Amino acid sequence: MPTELTATGPKLTHRSALLERLVDFEIEPGAEFVVEMLLPGYSLGEEWVSLPRSAQDFENGIILVSSVDKVAGVRPRLALLPPFPITDASEANSFDYFRSFDSKHHTIAIILLRLGHWAVGIAEDGKLVVTKTGSRYVKNQHRKGGQSSNRFRRGREKWIRELFDKAGEEASVRFRDYPGHLEFLKLGGDRVVLGQFLKRIKLPDDLGDRALPNRVAVDQPGRKALDDAVREAWSYRLFEFGE
């Protein structure tokens, strides 16, 4: 196994673009491949050692694509971190099982949150079907000290609680009233703020315990940010191997 192969990435790749890429693999002259789908908790062989730590123990599992060459043997080509958990391990010489995995129906809840703004949504198979956005005033800075500073701190904590409560109420109503089953929760925004929010707010059906990995980066929650979050929720993180 060539040790000089190194991984580059990750490149966020939407599933539609990835499926087109796999077609290119299949039509390569003399193409033979091994496609492994590994469950969460997997361990990787030495040929995948150049993958970063984020790909060594990803909580959704991992998909490994190797080429089979009569001279060079088996060579790593791609590693994919899937947007949804792998539930059945497989090893095959085609992408058929991967396509079956990729085509599974998923419905997810989305919460995007930064201090001052929030957005909630529900997406079915990559399309938004429910949206709600809003804002709540939260002042960020206070330059004075003493009692004035303490009053500002108490006021700011109150504004943040009100923001959390409003966003949580709107999210809970829409998630609870949705007629289908919400499998996962996709989060976006500030990590610390989201952590505080989930500690304060109890979402229906324990959705807060089913958050997908890879928080979405969000400058300001709103409809556009929801569209971007949906696209990312159905995208893979792709690592490519080369010399």
Q: Is the pLDDT of residue 180 over 60?
A: yes
Measured over the CA atoms of residue 124, residue 163, residue 204 and residue 87, the dihedral's sign is: positive
Cβ atoms of residues 11 and 66 within 8 Å: no
Question: Average pLDDT for residues 72-78, to the nearest whole number?
Answer: 84
For residue 170, CA distances in Å to 175, 201, 212, 235 come to: 9, 11, 20, 27
The better pLDDT of the pair 9, 151 is held by: 9
Cβ atoms of residues 187 and 119 within 8 Å: no
Q: What percent of the chain has pLDDT over 90?
A: 73
Query: How many C-beta atoms lie closer than 10 Å to residue 88's C-beta?
Result: 10
pLDDT at 146: 45
Q: Is the pLDDT of residue 143 over 60?
A: no
Question: Average pLDDT for residues 169-187, to the nearest whole number?
Answer: 95
pLDDT at 27: 74
pLDDT at 123: 98
Q: Is the pLDDT of residue 42 over 70?
A: yes
Question: Average pLDDT for residues 86-91, to the nearest whole number?
Answer: 96
Arch. (CATH architecture) of 107-233? 2-Layer Sandwich (3.30)
pLDDT at 26: 79
pLDDT at 72: 67
pLDDT at 137: 62
Confidence of residue 120 (pLDDT cuts 50, 70, 90): very high
Cβ-based burial of 240 (10 A; exposed 0-12, middle 13-18, buried ≥19): middle
Confidence of residue 153 (pLDDT cuts 50, 70, 90): low
Half-sphere exposure in the Cβ direction for 65 (13 Å, CA): 22
Range with the lowest mean pLDDT among 67-71, 83-87, 199-203?
Answer: 67-71
Cβ-based burial of 188 (10 A; exposed 0-12, middle 13-18, buried ≥19): buried
pLDDT at 140: 63
Q: Is the pLDDT of residue 213 over 70?
A: yes
The better pLDDT of the pair 238, 68 is held by: 238
CATH 3.30.420.60 domain position(s) in the chain: 107-233
Q: Is the pLDDT of residue 29 over 90?
A: no
pLDDT at 23: 86
